[in-house]
Structure 1
Amino acid sequence: MRINVIYNENCSVTLDRLPKKCIDGIITSPPYNINTERSDCYYNNGYSNIDGLSEAEYLKLRTEEFTKFSKVLKEKGVICYNISYSKENPILPTLLVSKIHNETNLTIADIICWKKSNAIPFQTSPTKLSRLTELIYVFVKKSSLHTFRTNKKISKVNGKTGQRFFKNYTNYIEAKNNDGYRSNLKAAYSKDLCQQLINIYFPEGSLIYDPFSGIGTTQLSCIESHCNFIGSELMKEHYDISISRLQKKGLIFHS
C-alpha cells in the first residue's frame, strides 16, 4: 500500500483498493449538499456537479461511504467528520448521524464544537443565524466505544486506588475558518483545526485518510504533525492545487 499520496478519484474507488483495517483514522469534511440556486451565489462549495442530491440520495451515498470507512479503519481508530447544516435542509446532518449509527457498526463517541474566527453566511436572512460554530462528529466502532485510541495524557494517579486522572480536554475548539488559500473550494477548514484534532486523537506515525481532500489541508497538517496520509479528491482543479501545495513540503507522490 502506498502512503503519502493523494488519488484523483472518487473516494469509493480508493476505499475499495485499501486493505482492511489499515487506517488509524479519518479527518474530513464531506460535501454539504448545499448546491442550490441562490440570488447572491455565495455558496458554491466546489462540488457543483455532485452536490445537488435529493435527501434520500445524499443519505444513501454518505452511509455507503461509512460502511467502507469501517472496513479500512483499525479496531480502535477514530473518524473526525466535520459537517454543517444548510438553511435549505438543516436536519440533514442529524439524519445522517442517525442513519450511520443504525445501519453501520460505527457510532458517535463525542461531538466537538468548532468555533471559527468569522461567522458565515452574510446576514441576508430575516430568520437564520450566522453560523460561528460547526460540529465535528467523532465516530468510532461500536465495539471500541470505550477503548478507542486518543492522545490524552495522564496528570496523576491515585496511589491507593490506582485511579487515573487525565489532563483537561474539552469538546470545544477555537480555530481559523481556513488557511486563506484562494480557490473555488468554499467549504474548507484550517490546518489550525486539523492539527488540534490530530493532537487529541492521533500519535506520531499514524496513517490518516481524507476521502474529500480538497486542496490538501489534512495532508499538510499530517506532514507538520509527523503523521502519514492517504487522500482522495475527485475534482481535478482541487487535486492539482493540493499537489502544488504539498510539493512545497518536499514529500508527495502522484497517484
Structure 2
Amino acid sequence: MEVNVIYNENCIVTLKKLPEKSIDGIITSPPYNINTERSDCYYNNGYSEIDGLSENDYLQIRTDEFLQFSKVLKDKGVICYNISYSKENPILPTLLVSRVHSETDLTIADIICWKKPNAIPFQTSPTKLSRITELIYVFVKKAYLHDFTTNKKISKVSKKTGQKFYRNYTNFVEAKNNDGYKSRLKATYSQDLCRQLISIYFPKGSLIYDPFSGIGTTQLSCLESDCFFIGSEIIKEHFDICMNRLREKNVSLFS
C-alpha cells in the first residue's frame, strides 16, 4: 500500500481501495452542511456544490463514510472528528453521533473541547452565541472502548497496588483557528490543533487518513510529527493547493 499519497476523489472511492484494518487513525473535519442562504450573507465554505444537503441526505452520507472508516481502521485505532453546528440546524452533529453509535461498530471514547483565540461568526444574531469553541469527537471501535491506542505517559506506579497513574491529559485544547493560509476553503483547522491530537493518540510512524484533506493541514502535521498519511480531497482547487504546499516541503508524493 502506498503511503504519503493524496487522491483527488470522493473519500468513499479511496476507502474502498484501502486494505481492511490498514489505518492507525483518522483526523478530519467534514463539511458542516452550512452552505446556505442567510439573511445577512451567503456563506460559502468552499464546498458549495456538495454542502447544501437535506438533513437526511447529510446524515446518510456521513454514516456511510463511518461504515467504511470502520473497515479500514485497525482494531485499536482512533478517529478524531471535528464538527461544529450551524444556527440553521444546531442539532445536526448530535444526530450524526447518535447514528454512528447505533449503526456502526464505532462509539465515542472522549469529546475534546477545542478553544480558539477568536470567536465566529460576528454578532449578527439576536439569540445565538458567538462560537469560540468546537468539539472533536473521538471515536473508537466498541470492542476496544477501554483498550485503544494513545500516547499517554505513565507518571508513576503504586508500589503497593501496581496501579498506574498517568500524566495530566485533559479534554480541553487551546489552538489557533487556522494557519492563516488564504484560499476559498474557509472551514479549516490549524496544524497547531492537529499536532496536539497526534501527540495524544498517534505514536511516531502511525498511518493517518484524512478523508476531507482540504488544503493539506493534516498531512503537513503528520510530516512534522513523524507520521505517514493518506488523503482524499474531492475539490480539485483544494487538492492542487494541498499538493503544492506539500511539495514546498520537498515531500516525495504519489498522486
TM range (shorter): over 0.9
Rounded to whole Å, the distance in 1 between the matches of 2:245 and 2:192 is 16
Rounded to whole Å, the distance in 2 between the matches of 1:107 and 1:177 is 27
Query: 1:79 is paired with a residue of what secondary structure?
Result: strand
Uncovered stretches (5+) of structure 1, i.e. residues with no partner: none
Partner of 1:175: 175
Partner of 1:194: 194
Deviations 1:42-85 (A, max 9, x none): 62111100000100000000000000000000000000000000
Uncovered stretches (5+) of structure 2, i.e. residues with no partner: none
Is the 2:35–2:42 contact (alpha carbons within 8 Å) kept by the matching residues of 1? no
Rounded to whole Å, the distance in 2 between the matches of 1:181 and 1:42 is 21
**CA positional deviation for 1:39:** 4.2
Partner of 1:11: 11
Aligned residues, how many? 255
Is the 1:208–1:227 contact (alpha carbons within 8 Å) kept by the matching residues of 2? yes
Is the 2:36–2:42 contact (alpha carbons within 8 Å) kept by the matching residues of 1? no
Rounded to whole Å, the distance in 2 between the matches of 1:192 and 1:41 is 30
Is the 1:233–1:239 contact (alpha carbons within 8 Å) kept by the matching residues of 2? yes
- Say yes or no: does 1:111 pair with 2:101: no
- Say yes or no: does 1:151 pair with 2:151: yes
Aligned-pair identity (%): 78
RMSD between superposed Cα atoms in Å? 0.8
- Say yes or no: does 1:205 pair with 2:200: no
Is the 1:43–1:186 contact (alpha carbons within 8 Å) kept by the matching residues of 2? no
TM (normalized to structure 2)? 0.99
Partner of 1:37: 37
The letter of the residue matching 1:36 is T
Query: 2:126 is paired with a residue of what secondary structure?
Result: coil
Is the 2:155–2:167 contact (alpha carbons within 8 Å) kept by the matching residues of 1? yes
- Say yes or no: does 1:125 pair with 2:131: no
Partner of 2:236: 236
Rounded to whole Å, the distance in 2 between the matches of 1:119 and 1:44 is 18
Partner of 1:219: 219
Query: 1:152 is paired with a residue of what secondary structure?
Result: coil
**CA positional deviation for 1:41:** 3.1
Deviations 1:112-139 (A, max 9, x none): 0000010000111111110000000000
Rounded to whole Å, the distance in 1 between the matches of 2:8 and 2:252 is 13
